[in-house]
Amino acid sequence: MDSFIDELPKVELHLHLVGSASVPTVLELARRHPAGNGVPPGSGVAPGSGVLAGSGVPTGSGVPRTEPELRAFFEFRDFPHFAEVYGAVSALVREPADVAELVSVDNAVCAPGQDSIEDGVTIPMADLHGPFDYHLTRKLCGLADEQGIPFARDVFRYYRSDAAAAIEAGAGTRAALVGFGLDGSHGWERTHMDSLEATYNLLHAWLQTPLTFAKWDAKPSGKLRDFPSSKQPAPTEQWVPLSRGEHAEPGDASPGSHWPPSEGPQI
């Protein structure tokens, strides 16, 4: 039995992915903040020390400003070097305008009363903190549908995702969550390769798209009347009761209605 378990394919499921940003994004941040080696308030870097506060991990001399040097910087030699890259890149995120969209990746527990699926990616509409960004979430659902990626929507009423920390800290960013189906969270965690593949494929598709509202999201704020929500209509919307009682099945979905409606206020 021991040899059988040893030979099974394994993957680290509960590893929070931090410090993973694309080379073009980091280059733009480095150019936006030429004094990026400074210490922004709340960055986690102890002023004047060059280390992550409370960790003793050095942040190094900063982020390279050329693409070849930056790509070499991202070739992790060991864990201390990874921590150095993480500290240096995190210090470049200095103001709300630096992050326009944030998609957190976490587990989607398959359990009674939940709609999370074992063989696809789950796109939650909300968690314990509250609803995720309406437009970014719908964009992810649309991408999954267009790419033929199996997905399900869900609501995590008793679960707080990592995206909530950024929102509660005041980040002015669109935030969404995707998750792979999981059993045994924070224990003997088990998942399905199809679910990991679907989650990867959705993230891969999203990373190749422009911002949800590229022109609007290029600035940290704007006038409400200029918000382009009507530019992203849904062909149909289906509504089902959220309450399930004792884990009962939800009611039948409505047939949906076309948007925008032919009558009533137009956005």
Whole-number Å distance between alpha carbons of 215 and 206: 17
Q: What is the pLDDT of residue 223?
A: 81
Residue 128 structural domain: 96-251
In this structure, are 70 and 100 located in the same domain? no
In this structure, are 82 and 113 located in the same domain? no
Whether the CB-CB separation of 238 and 253 falls below 8 Å is answered with yes
Cβ count within 10 A of residue 26? 23
**Position 2 in a domain:** no
In this structure, are 122 and 156 located in the same domain? yes
In this structure, are 191 and 234 located in the same domain? yes
Q: What is the pLDDT of residue 37?
A: 46
In this structure, are 65 and 178 located in the same domain? no
Whether the CB-CB separation of 52 and 59 falls below 8 Å is answered with yes
**Position 230 in a domain:** yes
**Position 1 in a domain:** no
For residue 84, what are the CA distances in angstroms to 28, 29, 54?
19, 17, 14
**Position 156 in a domain:** yes
**pTM of the predicted structure, to 2 decimals:** 0.65
For residue 99, what are the CA distances in angstroms to 18, 90, 104, 219?
14, 11, 13, 10
In this structure, are 192 and 65 located in the same domain? no
User: What is the maximal distance between C-alpha atoms in the chain?
Assistant: 67
Q: Which residues of the chain have pLDDT under 50?
A: 16-18, 36-61, 233, 235, 239, 244, 247, 264-267
For residue 53, what are the CA distances in angstroms to 40, 91, 142, 155, 250?
12, 12, 41, 35, 48
If phi > 0 it is left, if psi is from -120 to 50 it is alpha, else beta; for residue 103 that is beta
In this structure, are 199 and 180 located in the same domain? yes
Q: Looking at 94, 123, 142, which one is the last position of a domain?
A: 94
In this structure, are 160 and 228 located in the same domain? yes
